[in-house]
A and B are shown apart, each in its own frame.
Chain A
Amino acid sequence: MVAAVEPAARTAPGHGPLTPALYRVVERQVELDDVVTLSLEPEDGPAPPFAGGQFNMLTAFGVGEIAISISSAPGDPGPLRHTVRDVGAVTAALCASPVGAVVGVRGPFGTDWGVDGIDPAADAVIVAGGIGLAPLRGAVDELVARRRGTAGGGVFVLVGARSPDQVLFPPDLERWRADGAHVGVTVDAGAPGYDGPVGVVTSLLPEAPFDAERAVALVCGPEIMMRFAVRSLLERGVDPGRILVSLERNMQCGVGLCGHCQLGPLLLCRDGPVVPYGGVAEGLLGEHRR
């Protein structure tokens, strides 16, 4: 189900795999006070195809390079989108990039959520925490579009955020709801004027009526959140082999050459970031200092 997309990844012609292709920022959307979505278009030729869950290495010229998941859907007619959270020098520079700025792009790299391989009759359960909704956005778009109006499996989107003003992509959440998905949102801490659920994202599971036996779960967020989410999904009866998580480690080359992103037997830029829980992440998620 989870396989690397064929290396149609493009870098600058004539250069090696560490040289970025030049893209331009064509749109800039401020999502939260520290999160910006950049829409990028290549200076030359079309952007290479990608699958939801994959990432690009983005270069803020003069600052550095970082791995950022693609947040648009493969079927989107528009430009490539990346939702970036400002947590350091490179991401700060990317978040500050104005329309017209040049950004370097290498990729797409890594494994994807495998939306194509998900049984149409199985319920798809998406558990996203914080910025973790960004790598899942494209996959949810695809799943909701494919299942809209069909009698097959449903789409259950469970989102956790820090507080009501930190919920990512509210228009998409509304749209998915309108298109037939079950959408639940909870926050760690409430705020004046907010009357929705307050609690960890797993507290939304009991009210999500999915059929656990055949369900496929896509989980993305901070590692502790993913551990708790997986635990709750397993308790509910979801098959460990059908739970996918997105793992993260220090990434520098993105192409399996620099060794930084190793996590036990995996090179996350090549064997991840999307990894099945059963048999793979199971032995890695709880380990100390691995």
Chain B
Amino acid sequence: MTADLSLRLAAHRFLEGLDTEDVALLAAVARPAEFPAGTYLIREGEEADTIYFVDRGRVAIELHAPGRGPLVVETVGPGQVVGLSWVSPPFRWQFDARAAEAVGAVGVDAPALRLILAERPVLGFDLLQRLSGVLLERLQTTRVRLLDLYGDGGRR
């Protein structure tokens, strides 16, 4: 089982170039995760205890508002990561993440990973660099969407 997970993690774009040894460390605290369409990977407010490396399907990151239903702020697909709030306190999910299509992922235990990284600063720095890259990209694209480029700019 761990061998399978090692293979899936090694093939995941987010972990590209990571040492086999380090991949095995992650795989040791991971489990396969399948989410049928419509089910939730993550719920707002719950403990941020898993990082999902998605390799199949599409995940909708959303917030729920009464009367307005779920508001999708971003969708995430294969090769991407769902769940970023495990990195720093308060370790609580800020959004819901719903499987928009059936999702296949590898879920890595976040508390266990934090312990491993505390012992292995070099790996820790590497993963945080990769994570920063994802955060930066999401921040940039979110900023671009904030500009509402396709809007009418208040001209009418």
Contact = CB atoms under 8 A, between A and B. Distances in A.
| A–B in direct contact per CB < 8 Å | yes
B72 interface: yes
B72 A130 contact: no
Nearest to B71: A190
Task: Tell me which of A203, A224, A225 has the highest count of chain B C-beta atoms within 10 A of its own C-beta.
Answer: A203
A189 B145 contact: yes
A281 interface: no
B77 A87 contact: no
B26 to A, nearest CB: 22
A228 B141 CA distance: 9
A209 interface: no
A166 B150 contact: yes
Contact of A188 (B100, B145, B152): B145
Interface string B55-92: 00010101000001111111101110000000000000
A225 B143 CA distance: 12
**Interface size band for A:** 20 to 34
**Interface size band for B:** 20 to 34
A201 B71 CA distance: 19
A200 interface: yes
Contacts of B147: 224
A148 interface: no
Interface in A210-226: 221-222, 224-225
Contacts of B75: 186, 196-199, 203
A199 B156 contact: no
Contacts of A202: 141
A242 interface: no
Nearest to B78: A207
Contacts of B148: 162, 188
Chain A residues touching B, majority SS: loop
A16 interface: no
B115 interface: no
Contacts of B145: 188-189, 199-200
Interface in B121-146: 141, 144-145
A156 to B, nearest CB: 16
B149 A221 contact: yes
A224 B148 CA distance: 11
A96 to B, nearest CB: 13
B152 A34 contact: yes
Nearest to A193: B69
Contacts of B77: 197, 206-207
Contacts of A131: 150
A194 interface: yes
A200 B58 CA distance: 15
A104 to B, nearest CB: 23
Contacts of B69: 192
Contact of A129 (B62, B70, B73, B150): B150
B144 A225 contact: yes
A195 B62 CA distance: 11
B144 A224 contact: yes
Given A189-B145, A195-B60, A198-B73, A161 B150 contact: yes
A255 B142 CA distance: 39
Interface of B: 58, 60, 62, 68-75, 77-79, 100, 141, 144-145, 147-152, 155-156
12 contacts: A88-B155, A131-B150, A162-B151, A188-B145, A188-B148, A189-B73, A192-B69, A196-B75, A197-B77, A198-B73, A199-B145, A200-B144
Interface of A: 34, 86-88, 129-131, 160-162, 166, 186, 188-190, 192, 194-200, 202-203, 206-207, 221-222, 224-225, 228
In the A-B complex, the 5 residue pairs with the closest CB atoms: A190-B72, A130-B150, A222-B149, A162-B150, A188-B145
